[in-house]
Amino acid sequence: MDYLADERKKAEFDVDEMKIVWAGSRHAFEVSDRISKLVANDPGFRKDTRTMLARKELFKNTLRKAAYAWKRIHDLHLSEEEASRLRFYVDEPAYTDLHWGMFVPAIKGQGTDEQQKKWLPLAYKMQIIGCYAQTELGHGSNVQGLETTATFDPQTDEFVIHSPTLTSSKWWPGGLGKVSTHGVVYARLIINGEEHGIHGFIVQLRSLEDHLPLPGVTVGDIGMKFGNGAYNTMDNGVLRFDHVRIPRNQMLMRVSQVTRDGKYKQSDVPRQLVYGTMVYVRQTIVADASCALSRAVTIATRYSAVRRQFGSQNGGPETQVIDYKTQQNRLFPLLASAYAFKFVGEWLTWLYNDVTQRLQASDFSTLPEAHACTAGLKSLTTTATADGIEECRKLCGGHGYLCSSGLPELFAVYVPACTYEGDNTVLLLQVARFLMKTVSQLGSGKKPLGTISYMGKIEHLMQSRCTVQKAEDWLKPSQVLEAFEARAVKMAVSCAKNLSKFTNPEEGFAELSADLVEAAVAHCQLIVVSKFIDKLQQDIPGKGVKQQLEALCGIYYLYLLHKHQGDFLATSYLTPKQAALANDQLRALYTKVRPNAVALVDSFNYTDHFLGSILGCYDGNVYPKLYDAAWKDPLNDSVVPEGYHEYVRPLLKQQLHTAKL
């Protein structure tokens, strides 16, 4: 029985067409749909007991699943696209993520043609397994502060990789702890006593015969992490080198080279390309944020339609909690954000591919913008997604706290995204630097392009005032864009003015960093809003689909406007009356979206297996499932728990004795 059938009947749009918009294309939808069912129907990919397993058992199970996944990929002759969807629906972090997601891209991006020819075929067949070993115990954010050394020995034509201090121990790399045979290791290059900065080196860590660490290598897992199951399926590792020797040709030499006679040569490509793998992964993290958020929102929306509290009239049913305006005000902006992040993710993938093609043609002009966009959007989307998952847990009341809701594990597995691939605050400070540089160059005649082109309208934006007179005026895209542009430009200019009061710019930057982070957030929010609006300019087929997306877009920007009212009012672009009208329009859009809410989350097309949540199950039959699941908990295997006779019974006896006294 479908307990959400009435909700589904209320939908005012074509759900099948929305599924295609969400997937990106009809082809992408068909692949995703087929692979998600393949995974859901395969007992080899079960995950329902994951949060109850002890670490060793959990980890071994992940090794089994990864090997099984690899076998299925081969047996079924899956394409790269299909394999990547399979990884997504298997839904378990594993060493393979770092192998495919960072080790291979690092060699592709930073290796010479010759190096790629040697290493990539081995990596593609998984005859070697790699990790990305950059972060150390003492330094993560400050990459230039890494301490591991790679000293060139001209006698033997080798590099000597060494960990000179405890804090230089590599710490965190995923896959390193127990599985990787190789790593791209980042170290300070030293030639003839002279330092040449951080470079990547391919280093073999374990024997390909018996998996033992090679001489001079000390390696292990760093221990349990936050949450049950969650990221504990990953072997994040610690690694030390004691004068480990590797041939000279294992330094990744696309960006710079060391010759046989020990000369250091820089190519004409910018040195920042050494950071290229991080830019690539930040872009994939943005594309993934909408998936994690949409998953949590699916659970909270379906459950909010099932759950009833208060409001019964004449013995009739109580009110569905989704009908409370407070619930809508917490839930619908998250639903809208999931769609917003999907579209900005698609755009960022386009930007990344564009910059990659330009780099191949030696055009480095868009690299700073690509860095700022990937860094800023990674920060914005992961912060909002992690906060959003936790909000969805609260939206589900007490039941959201049960592991069987799927939300605790989803949160635990997602939240490190705010830290890895660059701490979110550190990344926003990179965006702020880019903004300050842009503002300082405005007078030079250099035209700002791409996502900062709005800075070219600075004179107009500094003086313009909002023209909204009635709530519906807030539905005009041009009006909204101008509001977000004016806010972003004014916040950036205000920071720049304050910075100019400092004689030492670095001191000023440090002192004003909290304001700079806010200006960076305003800029990134403008990007997300503008990409959502751009998406709506496209031809979007399907009955009512575009109208729903327009409503969600409105909710996204009006919610931001309401939440950051202070910014908009402080920059005098808006009057308090206009801000209040924005809020009226926001409430009207909630009413519009309400009958479509369940269908809008159905459009994500998630299987019950993938959701892993009783509260979010498709048929909404929540209570019997929760009740049955409780009895399956190992604690209920026996009526009297283990430990009762040892620890509880004596207490009870003691109480009897005390009572007698």
- Residue 231: contacted member of ligand L7CZZD6L, ligand FAD, none (CB under 5 to 8 Å, by partner type): ligand FAD
Q: Tell whether residue 174 is among the known ligand binding residues.
A: yes
Contact range with ligand L7CZZD6L by CB under 6 A, out of 58-66, 349-357, 377-385, 472-480: 58-66
Residue from 69, 410, 439, 524 binding ligand L7CZZD6L (CB under 6 A)? 69
**Least distance from ligand L7CZZD6L to the Cβ atom of residue 400, Å:** 26
In the range 633-652, which residues lie near ligand L7CZZD6L by CB under 6 A? none
421 lies in the binding site for ligand L7CZZD6L (CB under 6 A): yes
Structure tokens at 50: 């994951």
CA distance 244 to 103: 20
Which stretches within 41-103 are classed as H helix? 55-75, 80-90, 95-98
CA distance 387 to 38: 31
Nearer to ligand L7CZZD6L, 65 or 240 (CB): 65
- Residue 425: contacted member of ligand FAD, ligand L7CZZD6L, none (CB under 5 to 8 Å, by partner type): ligand FAD
Residue from 14, 387, 423, 518 binding ligand FAD (CB under 6 A)? 423
Q: What is the DSSP letter of 361?
A: T
187 lies in the binding site for ligand L7CZZD6L (CB under 6 A): no
140 lies in the binding site for ligand FAD (CB under 6 A): yes
Bridge partners of 171, per DSSP, are 238
Residue from 100, 420, 484, 610 binding ligand FAD (CB under 6 A)? 420
- The answer to whether the beta carbons of residues 159 and 152 sit under 8 Å apart is yes
Nearer to ligand FAD, 103 or 341 (CB): 103
One DSSP character per residue, 138-191 reads S-SS-GGG---EEEEETTTTEEEEE--SGGGSEE--TTTTTT-SEEEEEEEEEE
386 lies in the binding site for ligand FAD (CB under 6 A): no
Half-sphere exposure of 34 (CA within 13 A, CB side): 12
String marking each residue 304-343 x if it binds ligand FAD according to CB under 6 A: ----------------------------------------
Q: Which residue is at the shortest CB distance from ligand FAD?
A: 140
Kindly report the CA angle at 127 between 225 and 98, in degrees rounded to 5?
30
- The answer to whether the beta carbons of residues 480 and 591 sit under 8 Å apart is no
Nearer to ligand L7CZZD6L, 110 or 304 (CB): 110
Bridge partners of 238, per DSSP, are 171, 220
C-alpha torsion 168→174→180→182, nearest 10? -50
Q: Which residues are catalytic?
A: 421
String marking each residue 264-293 x if it binds ligand L7CZZD6L according to CB under 6 A: --------x--x--xx-x--x---------
101 lies in the binding site for ligand FAD (CB under 6 A): no
How many residues bind ligand L7CZZD6L, per CB under 6 A? 42
User: What phi and psi, each to the nearest 5 degrees, are found at residue 296?
Assistant: -65, -40
Give the torsion sign (CA, 301, 306, 307, 312). positive
**Least distance from ligand L7CZZD6L to the Cβ atom of residue 14, Å:** 31
- Tell the residue number behind the tokens 């503002």, with chain if given: 439
134 lies in the binding site for ligand L7CZZD6L (CB under 6 A): yes
String marking each residue 214-253 x if it binds ligand FAD according to CB under 6 A: -----------------x----x-----------------
Bridge partners of 153, per DSSP, are 158
- The answer to whether the beta carbons of residues 484 and 530 sit under 8 Å apart is yes
98 lies in the binding site for ligand FAD (CB under 6 A): yes
**Rg, C-alpha atoms of the chain:** 27
Q: Which amino acid is at 204?
A: Q
- The answer to whether the beta carbons of residues 126 and 99 sit under 8 Å apart is yes
Element (H, E) at 219: strand 217-221
Residue from 174, 177, 183, 554 binding ligand FAD (CB under 6 A)? 174
184 lies in the binding site for ligand L7CZZD6L (CB under 6 A): no
422 lies in the binding site for ligand FAD (CB under 6 A): yes
How many residues bind ligand FAD, per CB under 6 A? 21
Q: Tell whether residue 218 is among the known ligand binding residues.
A: no
String marking each residue 422-461 x if it binds ligand L7CZZD6L according to CB under 6 A: x---x---x--x---x------------------------
- Residue 613: contacted member of ligand L7CZZD6L, ligand FAD, none (CB under 5 to 8 Å, by partner type): none
Element (H, E) at 38: helix 26-40
Contact range with ligand L7CZZD6L by CB under 6 A, out of 92-100, 246-254, 327-335, 606-614: 92-100
- Tell the residue number behind the tokens 């397993």, with chain if given: 53
- Tell the residue number behind the tokens 């030492």, with chain if given: 504
- The answer to whether the beta carbons of residues 521 and 372 sit under 8 Å apart is no
Spell out a b/e string for 77-91, using b for 16 or more CB atoms within 10 Å of the CB, else e: ebeeebbebbbebbb
- Residue 474: contacted member of ligand FAD, ligand L7CZZD6L, none (CB under 5 to 8 Å, by partner type): none
386 lies in the binding site for ligand L7CZZD6L (CB under 6 A): no
Nearer to ligand FAD, 257 or 425 (CB): 425
Kindly give, in sequence order, each residue whose CB lies less than 8 Å from that of residue 293, ignoring residues fewer than 6 positions away. 334, 337, 338, 341, 384, 385, 388, 389
* Burial of 655: CB neighbours in 10 Å, binned 0-12, 13-18, 19+: exposed
Contact range with ligand L7CZZD6L by CB under 6 A, out of 130-138, 300-308, 406-414, 613-621: 130-138
172 lies in the binding site for ligand FAD (CB under 6 A): yes
Element (H, E) at 132: strand 130-133
- The answer to whether the beta carbons of residues 92 and 62 sit under 8 Å apart is yes
Determine the 3-state secondary structure of 435 from DSSP.
helix
Residue from 228, 329, 349, 425 binding ligand FAD (CB under 6 A)? 425
* Burial of 414: CB neighbours in 10 Å, binned 0-12, 13-18, 19+: buried
Determine the 3-state secondary structure of 538 from DSSP.
coil
416 lies in the binding site for ligand FAD (CB under 6 A): yes
144 lies in the binding site for ligand L7CZZD6L (CB under 6 A): yes
List contacts with ligand FAD (CB under 6 A). 98, 132-135, 140-141, 172-174, 231, 236, 416, 419-420, 422-423, 425-426, 429, 513
List contacts with ligand L7CZZD6L (CB under 6 A). 62, 65-66, 69-70, 73, 83-84, 87, 90, 92, 94, 96-97, 100-102, 132, 134-135, 140-144, 174, 272, 275, 278-279, 281, 284, 367-368, 371, 420-422, 426, 430, 433, 437
**Residues comprising the binding site for FAD?**
135, 174
